């Protein structure tokens, strides 16, 4: 279970000992390392670097690729990253284990539009399944087990009147999902852009907008750090938060720039970049929507008790 893996990572490492930052550049910028999965969700981070927002706030940012929140949390705990991008499910699990993570800036949100979101549940061409409620005993691919994917998919099945207790979730990388659908290896997949567009172009049918089903303003991920880092270097953490706020606003106002920058840090085909659905990049996390996720996680047994999200979203000192 992910709960055990995160606990093991915490036991094997200690919290950051030297505060935030890896040193200073010759021109006096504070060097920091940010862990982030190379997907469209983190376009504002890369735009902020490209547009000089972080430099304006005294920061020299190095982005280190991760596979997702399950890797990002141990990376922050161990000190490999000063901050990281992680989905709220991973952070709620960390809170449940007693790992003091703190949100610093918003990350990415659903568009809230059914059939027009950047993530969806799809079934292969020719499938007998026409509604998400019919997936109650299906094999469904997600990129990580016990995470935002299976939590939101279970919710979509319940919301449609189905029973998700018989679902078998299969861990599969997003790039492998369209082929697995075509070959009949899975009954359905939760997939995000640009792989959602590839699956739909290949004949797959969308049966649920699982993020929007949870909440039409769902905060899916945030940028976070450890409590210790926040206490030891609040100025640097605050500078990152301010720069990210500017980056998020820029990304939300300039979708063409989002598409441009995606081509710089991913290997996504240019034709897919031009047509894929973009997420929303609001400047602040929607804490009420994250509470909905936490309640769903308790219902599904991912956490023993719903953690106090006030710790995750508390004001900086």
DSSP class per residue in 206-263? EEE-HHHHH-TT-EEEEEEEEHHHHHH-HHHHHHHHHHHHHHHHHHHH-HHHHHHHHH
Assess whether 106 and 228 both reside in one domain. Answer: yes
Structural domains of the chain, count: 2
Q: What is the per-residue pLDDT for 14?
A: 35
Assess whether 98 and 51 both reside in one domain. Answer: yes
10-65 residue pLDDT tens: 433 333 334 566 677 768 899 999 999 888 999 999 999 999 999 999 999 999 98
Name the residue with tokens 């567009």. 197
Assess whether 300 and 225 both reside in one domain. Answer: yes
Assess whether 9 and 105 both reside in one domain. Answer: yes
In a domain, 136, yes or no: yes
- Average pLDDT, stretch 101-129? 96
Assess whether 7 and 87 both reside in one domain. Answer: yes
194-234 residue pLDDT tens: 889 889 999 999 999 999 999 999 999 999 999 999 999 99
Residue 267 has pLDDT above 50, yes or no: yes
In a domain, 86, yes or no: yes
Assess whether 91 and 144 both reside in one domain. Answer: no
In a domain, 267, yes or no: yes
**Residue that is last in its domain, among 193, 214, 235:** 214
Assess whether 208 and 249 both reside in one domain. Answer: no
Name the residue with tokens 């959602």. 196
Distance, in Å, from the CA atom of 244 to the CA atom of 146, rounded to the nearest integer, reads: 28
In a domain, 76, yes or no: yes
**Residue that is last in its domain, among 190, 214, 238:** 214
Assess whether 16 and 138 both reside in one domain. Answer: no
Assess whether 106 and 231 both reside in one domain. Answer: yes
> Residue 194's domain spans which residues?
119-214
Assess whether 22 and 97 both reside in one domain. Answer: yes
**Residue that is last in its domain, among 156, 191, 214:** 214
Mean of the per-residue pLDDT values for the chain? 89
> If 0-12 CB within 10 Å is exposed, 13-18 middle and 19+ buried, where does residue 166 land?
exposed
Assess whether 105 and 227 both reside in one domain. Answer: yes
- Average pLDDT, stretch 184-198? 93
In a domain, 186, yes or no: yes
- The domain that holds 133 is classified in CATH as 3.40.190.10
In a domain, 317, yes or no: no
Distance, in Å, from the CA atom of 287 to the CA atom of 70, rounded to the nearest integer, reads: 21
Angle of CA points 244, 246, 252, to nearest 5°: 100
Assess whether 200 and 256 both reside in one domain. Answer: no
Angle of CA points 223, 227, 228, to nearest 5°: 120
% of the chain exceeding 70 in pLDDT: 91
**In this structure, how many other beta carbons lie within 10 angstroms of the beta carbon of residue 160?**
17
Which two three-digit tokens encode residue 70?
Answer: 């399950």
CA 98 from centre of chain:
21
Model pTM? 0.87
């Amino acid at each position: 279970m992910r709960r055990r893996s995160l606990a093991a990572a915490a036991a094997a490492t200690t919290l950051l000992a030297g505060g935030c930052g890896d040193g200073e550049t010759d021109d006096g910028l504070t060097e920091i390392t940010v862990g982030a999965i190379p997907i469209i969700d983190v376009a504002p981070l890369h735009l902020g670097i490209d547009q000089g927002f972080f430099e304006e706030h005294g920061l020299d940012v190095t982005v280190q690729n991760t596979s997702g929140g399950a890797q990002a949390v141990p990376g922050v705990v161990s000190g490999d990253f000063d901050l990281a991008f992680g989905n709220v499910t991973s952070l709620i699990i960390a809170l449940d284990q007693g790992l003091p993570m703190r949100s610093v800036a918003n990350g990415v949100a659903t568009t809230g539009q059914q059939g027009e979101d950047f993530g969806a549940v799809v079934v292969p061409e020719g499938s007998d399944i026409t509604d998400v409620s019919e997936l109650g005993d299906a094999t469904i691919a997600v990129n990580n087990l016990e995470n935002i994917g299976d939590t939101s998919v279970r919710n979509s099945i319940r919301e449609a009147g189905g029973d998700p207790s018989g679902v078998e979730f299969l861990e599969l990388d997003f790039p492998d999902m369209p082929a697995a659908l075509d070959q009949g290896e899975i009954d359905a997949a939760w997939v995000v852009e640009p792989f959602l567009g590839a699956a739909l172009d290949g004949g797959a049918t969308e049966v649920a907008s699982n993020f929007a089903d949870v909440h039409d303003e769902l905060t899916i991920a945030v940028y976070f750090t450890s409590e210790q880092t926040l206490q030891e270097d609040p100025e640097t953490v605050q500078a990152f938060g301010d720069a990210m706020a500017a980056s998020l606003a820029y990304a939300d106002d300039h979708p063409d720039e989002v598409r441009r920058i995606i081509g710089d840090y991913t290997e996504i085909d240019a034709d897919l970049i031009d047509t894929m659905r973009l997420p929303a990049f609001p400047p602040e996390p929607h804490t009420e929507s994250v509470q909905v996720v936490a309640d769903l996680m308790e219902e599904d047994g991912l956490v023993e008790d719903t953690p106090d999200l006030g710790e995750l979203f508390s004001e900086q000192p």
